[in-house]
Amino acid sequence: MSLSNLSIRSKLIGAFALLVLLTMVLGLVALRQLHNVNVRSVEVNQRWLPSILAVSDLSAALNRVRRVEARLPSVRTQGAYDQAMAQLQTRQTEVVAFEDAFERASNSVEASAMLAAYLESRNAYDAARNRLLELMTQLVQNNVTDGTVDPNLLQAARDYYAGPLDEAFARVEEHISSLQQWNARQADAAFAAVESTYRLALRQVGIMLLLAVVLASAAAAWIIRSITRPTQLAVERMQAVARGDLSQPVHVTSRDEMGQLLHALETMRTRLASVVARVRSNAQGVAAASEQIAQGNNDLSSRTEQQASSLEEIAASMEELGSTVHQNADHAQLANKVAIDTAKTANEGSQAMLQAERTMQDILESGRQIEDIIGVIDAIAFQTNILALNAAVEAARAGEQGRGFAVVANEVRSLAKRSAESSKEVKALIATNAQRVASGAEMVANAVKSMEEIVQSIHRVTDLVGEISAASTEQSAGVTQVGEAIAQLDHVTQRNAALVEESAAAAASLSQQAQELVQSVEVFHLTQGSTAALPPFTSKSDGESATRAGAPVQQAQEQSARAARGTQQHSAPGLPQQSPPARKSAPDPGEQEWENF
């Protein structure tokens, strides 16, 4: 089975399975190398690091033992000696514990040999220390017994500490240094092993990662190519179909989903080509039927010319009638306008009369005000005279003391001034009244003119009504002419009915072929303007359809000829003739058919 025939689902599953497998292998390799690194790290942590720490602690413990030994020559009392011995015992216990820890951590033949050499030197060192302890025991006992320190014993202890004991400790330190160097070598070897394991893991993981990337890229490129190339081919073929080119076949080279799509596209193209061929064949039949319809329509056109002449006469009569009606409408509008103007004029006259009445009332009111003001002026003048008389009398009597009457005299003069102002106001009011009277007279005159215009407008309305009556008479005559033209139009209509039957038969044939055309294109949907570059083909059914389409057309032509011969005696060129009244009241079947049409 070829890989190109695999389904897209299988290809994707295979590609992802390959990626998962590569990822698992990469993960297993990485885990294995991480395990090796961890083993090396555990070895360093659990073996070499405790060994190094044990040797370091052992060296420190021996140094502490050495410090206790250094204090022994200065001990004099039994209590201090016992305390020093207890410390020495504790330090010695620590040394043994660290030796055991090193023995457990090292666990090798070389380390055991080195440890045995160290223990031998340490035993010699312990024996030398025991000799020092014997000397110190004698020195302390003598001091306790006699209360004096034996200088010989003291010097012997000091010499032994600085001599044989120091030499024994130096040999122990040499073995300790050997153990430390051995630990350093083993630690370096362990680190080198860890480094080697890390580099090996890095190389293996890098190689697996590169292999995974290469295989994944190859699988992705293969899948993309298996999808994009058929898709591009399908797009090109669909674009060709959209342009109307059905001559380009679709070559299928695989059986996956894209191959099935291309196969379906090729099937669609083949069926579309067949449909387009059938459509073209049926379209030729439609063209033949349409040609027959066109011939019948030409005959209908020639006969319709006679009807057109009658319609011209009707149009002329209607034009005259329309002119008369238009004139009547103009007159009616003018009459309406005149009536509106008349009403407006009458309203203005009424308003003028009302204004004149109000003006007269204002004049009367002003007259009353004038009377009141004149009364006030008279009263003031009377009081002024009295005050002036009193002032003169009092001033004469008082002499020098009559100065107060000067005030009275001023008041009199002020009052006289007010009297003068009032007189001026009276004059102004009188002048205003005179103007209002003149305005009232003018308004009355305008009212008279308005009434005269109303009378004239009424006369014009009467004249227009007469003109409307005359126009109505002309309209009646025009209506009579329209009736005569309609009678002539009836004869032509009968012949048109026969042509309508012929057109109906041809339309039925055309409809039948159109239905067959629709049934042919129901297999596939086409947009408007679609074309196909395939030759047309004809079938037996198409020939039979064309034969059936011609039969009703010939029958309709024969019926049209008979109807034309039957109606020729009723047609006449020129002006239309009068039709009998019975014809108008009961139209013949030809007219009914035309109305239904």
- What secondary structure does DSSP assign to 168-224, as a single string? HHHHHHHHHHHHHHHHHHHHHHHHHHHHHHHHHHHHHHHHHHHHHHHHHHHHHHHHH
* For residue 577, pLDDT beyond 50: no
Residues 285 and 181 in one domain: no
* For residue 366, pLDDT beyond 80: no
| Average pLDDT of the segment spanning 17-21 | 79
pLDDT digits (tens, 9 = 90+) for 168-186: 888 888 888 888 788 777 7
| Average pLDDT of the segment spanning 127-140 | 82
φ/ψ of 357, rounded to 5, equals -65, -45
| Amino acid of residue 244 | G
Whether 248 is covered by a domain: the verdict is no
Whether 252 is covered by a domain: the verdict is no
Q: Please, are residues 242 and 223 in contact by the beta-carbon 8 Å criterion?
A: no
The domain that holds 471 is classified in CATH as: 1.10.287.950
Of 28 and 339, the structure prediction assigns the larger pLDDT to 28
Whether 245 is covered by a domain: the verdict is no
Least confident of 86-90, 127-131, 320-324: 320-324
pLDDT at 27: 76
Buried b vs exposed e over 474-504: b needs ≥16 C-beta within 10 Å?
bbeebeebbebbebbbbbbbbbbbbbbbbbe
Whether 95 is covered by a domain: the verdict is yes
- Domain residue limits at 103: 3-232
As given in the structure block, the two tokens for residue 437 are 């009277």
Residues 37 and 183 in one domain: yes
Q: pLDDT band at residue 362, thresholds of 50, 70 and 90?
A: confident
Whether 437 is covered by a domain: the verdict is yes
Least confident of 99-113, 324-338, 497-511, 545-559: 545-559
Residues 203 and 276 in one domain: no
CA distances, 557 to each of 258, 430, 493 (Å):
59, 106, 17
Residues 263 and 177 in one domain: no
As given in the structure block, the two tokens for residue 434 are 């005179």
Domain boundary among 199, 232, 265: 232
> What single-letter DSSP state applies at residue 527?
-
pLDDT at 223: 74
pLDDT at 581: 41
Nearest residue to 333 via CA among 583, 341, 482: 341
Q: pLDDT band at residue 555, thresholds of 50, 70 and 90?
A: low
Residues 310 and 445 in one domain: yes
Q: Please, are residues 209 and 26 in contact by the beta-carbon 8 Å criterion?
A: yes
* For residue 432, pLDDT beyond 80: no
Domain boundary among 216, 232, 248: 232
> What single-letter DSSP state applies at residue 246?
-
Residues 171 and 319 in one domain: no
Whether 178 is covered by a domain: the verdict is yes
Residues 214 and 353 in one domain: no
| Average pLDDT of the segment spanning 222-243 | 75
Residues 161 and 294 in one domain: no
Q: pLDDT band at residue 534, thresholds of 50, 70 and 90?
A: very low
Total domains in the fold of the chain: 2
| Average pLDDT of the segment spanning 502-518 | 69
Residues 270 and 187 in one domain: no
Of 334 and 495, the structure prediction assigns the larger pLDDT to 334
Whether 531 is covered by a domain: the verdict is no
pLDDT at 592: 43
* For residue 583, pLDDT beyond 60: no
Residues 385 and 442 in one domain: yes
Residues 217 and 271 in one domain: no
Residues 90 and 193 in one domain: yes
Handedness of CA 425, 426, 431, 436 (dihedral sign): positive
